[in-house]
Amino acid sequence: MSGLIGKKIGMTSIFDENGKNIPCTVIEAGPCIVTQVRTEEVDGYEAIQLGFDDATEKSATKADLGHAKKAGTSVKRKIVEFQGFDAEYKLGDAITVDHFTEGEFVDIAGTSKGKGFQGVVKRHGFGGVGQATHGQHNRLRAPGSIGAASYPARVFKGMKMAGRMGGDTVKVQNLRVLKVVTDKNLLVVKGCVPGHKNAYVIIRK
């Protein structure tokens, strides 16, 4: 589906017409520059490649510099392909936050915050084992049994255990667009989206 690349600014809350306080996320959506146009004849499918957020030429490769020069723009930090645009775009065109309208629903994908090595209670929502009584003192947040002994004599793959948590690609679906601030390229959506402040997010209709 069509969409834009954005940057998560942070969270706030606004009041609706009924006086209800609604938590929301503010995203800097665009302007995104068309850096490549995929066609059925050349690439076998139709799509538009968008670039967002200027990068320094010092950190760019020669391939990146040539790719940006062909589109007549500067080197971009984030490049994503989108499909499903109704309008026709050519190299160098800018797509702004006007692509979205208030009241519609969008899907937003991003990389979740890294939590480091976590136990099963935080990572998988385990309830803990037993009560803190009858002489038991150090097994409250333990995972419990992870498999039988003599048979099958191993731990099955996929067993929910402690480990690295976060840093995954997460998509939140059906977030309502509460406000579109055109002059500042800001998109305000209801609820929270994955990622830390200033993290890149992919917004799709």
Report pLDDT digits (tens) over 153-168: 999 999 999 999 999 9
Same domain flag for 45 and 81: yes
- Spatial distance between the Cα atoms of 194 and 171, rounded to a whole number of angstroms: 8
Same domain flag for 8 and 89: yes
Residue 6 banded pLDDT, cuts 50, 70, 90:
very high
Contacts of 179-182 spanning 24+ positions with Cβ under 8 A:
179/14, 179/102, 180/97, 180/98, 180/100, 180/101, 180/102, 181/97, 182/96, 182/97, 182/98
85-102 tens-digit pLDDT? 888 888 888 999 999 999
Same domain flag for 107 and 45: yes
Same domain flag for 78 and 113: yes
* Residue 84 confidence (pLDDT): 86
Q: What percent of the chain has pLDDT over 70?
A: 99
Same domain flag for 93 and 108: yes
Same domain flag for 151 and 63: no
**CA distances (Å), origin 160, targets 29, 143, 150, 189, 201:** 37, 8, 21, 33, 28
Same domain flag for 113 and 38: yes
Domain holding 141, by residue range, is 122-165
User: How many structural domains is the chain composed of?
Assistant: 2
**CA distances (Å), origin 151, targets 56, 148, 157, 161:** 59, 6, 15, 20
Asked whether residue 170 carries a pLDDT value surpassing 90, the answer given is: yes
- Spatial distance between the Cα atoms of 102 and 92, rounded to a whole number of angstroms: 27
Same domain flag for 28 and 102: yes
Asked whether residue 17 carries a pLDDT value surpassing 90, the answer given is: no
Residue 25 sits in a domain of what CATH number? 2.40.30.10
* Residue 16 confidence (pLDDT): 87
Same domain flag for 115 and 129: no
* Residue 168 confidence (pLDDT): 95
Same domain flag for 112 and 194: yes
Same domain flag for 35 and 76: yes
Asked whether residue 132 carries a pLDDT value surpassing 90, the answer given is: no
Same domain flag for 157 and 187: no
* Cα dihedral value 21, 25, 28, 30, nearest 10: -100
- Spatial distance between the Cα atoms of 31 and 78, rounded to a whole number of angstroms: 12
* Residue 26 confidence (pLDDT): 97
